[in-house]
Amino acid sequence: MRRALDAQGSPIRRESFMAKSKRVGYAVIGLGHISQRAILPGFRHAKRSSLAALVSGDAKKAKLLAAQFGASHTYTYDALDACLRDPEVEAVYIATPNSSHVEFAVRAAEAGRHVLCEKPLAITHGECQQIIDACRKNHVKLMVAYRKYFEPAALALKKLVDSGRLGRLRIIHSAFTVTLPSGDSWHLKKALAGGGSLCDVGIYCINLVRWLTGMEPTEATAHAWTNDPVRFREVEDNISFQLKFPGGLFLQASSSFTAAKASFVQIHGEKGWAALDPAYAYNEERRFFGKVGGKWFERNFKIVDEFSLELDHLAACIRADRDPLPDGNAGLRDAMIMEAIYEATKQGRAVAIRTHEKFNSQPA
């Protein structure tokens, strides 16, 4: 039955073969570190999502992982079209090197498959726009895999910010540092990654603060550096950047590819402050603490499977025909901001970021 459909060579409308209540079947495209360590295990805890297929250049690896994680089918990249016609595949999770996101996202959209894409959505804002346009045109959902939107500790922080109990926000500090394993990596190649630690982990600081505050930065300054100019000759190792937000809020953030894994965000408001530390890495307990109204608080959050939560969010949106959040625009905005940050490292002074005025209001 499936083979017969495959042979048609055209997009299959999911409604024709799948009950609305059924789990959404995903094809995971790209079987690198993040897939093996986080995305594939995420299906085990998912309630609305199932692993339908794996796509990899390495057929043997794909079969091994399919057996381990219970995927029905495996495909090589040559057979991607077949995968995208597979009636069990309603959505794709794109976890390939950043430069290939645009190709896979557009092809999936054109095949009528919903798209969940690892961050960054793409390596230029133009490519992000192409993905957004393709998904709109083909009436499929587009979500960027920002885990924080679904994580209880981050949601608790957002609830506190939204409550206004911190007062007007003044200063935010945030960092996400990791140690890139020794040896070669696509993360070191500009053509594949688009940039260095900013694209891989620093982006969390940008996205989190935009999400927490609902505001868009207007200006960027930045400094990038390394102690290993041979290894980091194409992309930045360490980067510290500053984003100016409306209403007198300023973000100082950093990322690194050569520091121990660590991450935090600390928010200073007129009336209180709050922090998550650790904040960003997966499979970590979170500590949420601060002082509001002169009173100290601290809550610890156990590890949750943030990947199953994001898989299920898109699945729920598909079934309910709602737009997911984070959407493609979140990825597009972050790409534009990263472009301004990189430009600022070159110019050595503030670079304007294109803004949408409607996003930028802080209560007086």
Phi/psi region, residue 113 (left: phi>0; alpha: psi -120 to 50; beta: rest), is beta
- Contact segment (CB under 8 A) with its own copies among 13-21, 78-86, 104-112, 346-354 equals 346-354
Cβ closer to its own copies: 189 or 287?
Answer: 287
Q: Site residues for its own copies, window 265-294 (CB under 8 A)?
A: 266, 268-273, 275, 277, 289-291
Give the number of residues in contact with its own copies, rule: CB under 8 A. 46
Per CB under 8 A, does 231 bind its own copies?
no
Per CB under 8 A, does 221 bind its own copies?
yes
Active site residues: 119, 204
Q: Site residues for its own copies, window 314-343 (CB under 8 A)?
A: none
Within 10 angstroms of residue 297's Cβ, the number of other Cβ atoms is 13
Residue 11 preceded by cis peptide, ω within 30: no
Distance from C-alpha of 339 to C-alpha of 323, rounded to nearest angstrom: 26
Per CB under 8 A, does 349 bind its own copies?
yes
Among 220, 216, 209, which Cα is nearest to 340's?
A: 220
Q: Site residues for its own copies, window 109-138 (CB under 8 A)?
A: none
Residue 97 preceded by cis peptide, ω within 30: no
Q: Which of 36, 258, 301, 360 binds its own copies (CB under 8 A)?
A: 258
Q: Which of 170, 189, 190, 319 binds its own copies (CB under 8 A)?
A: 170
Cβ closer to its own copies: 233 or 271?
Answer: 271
Per CB under 8 A, does 299 bind its own copies?
no
Among 351, 337, 329, 364, which Cα is nearest to 217's?
A: 337
Q: How far is CA 144 from the centre of its chain?
A: 5
Among 93, 133, 132, which Cα is nearest to 113's?
A: 93
Cβ closer to its own copies: 39 or 253?
Answer: 253
Enclosing H/E stretch for 125: helix 125-137
Cβ closer to its own copies: 5 or 262?
Answer: 262
Residue 326 near residue 211, CB atoms below 8 Å: yes
Q: Which residues form the interface with its own copies (CB under 8 A)?
A: 166-168, 170-171, 173, 175, 177, 179, 221, 223, 225-227, 238, 240, 242, 244, 247-248, 250, 252-254, 256, 258-262, 264, 266, 268-273, 275, 277, 289-291, 348-350
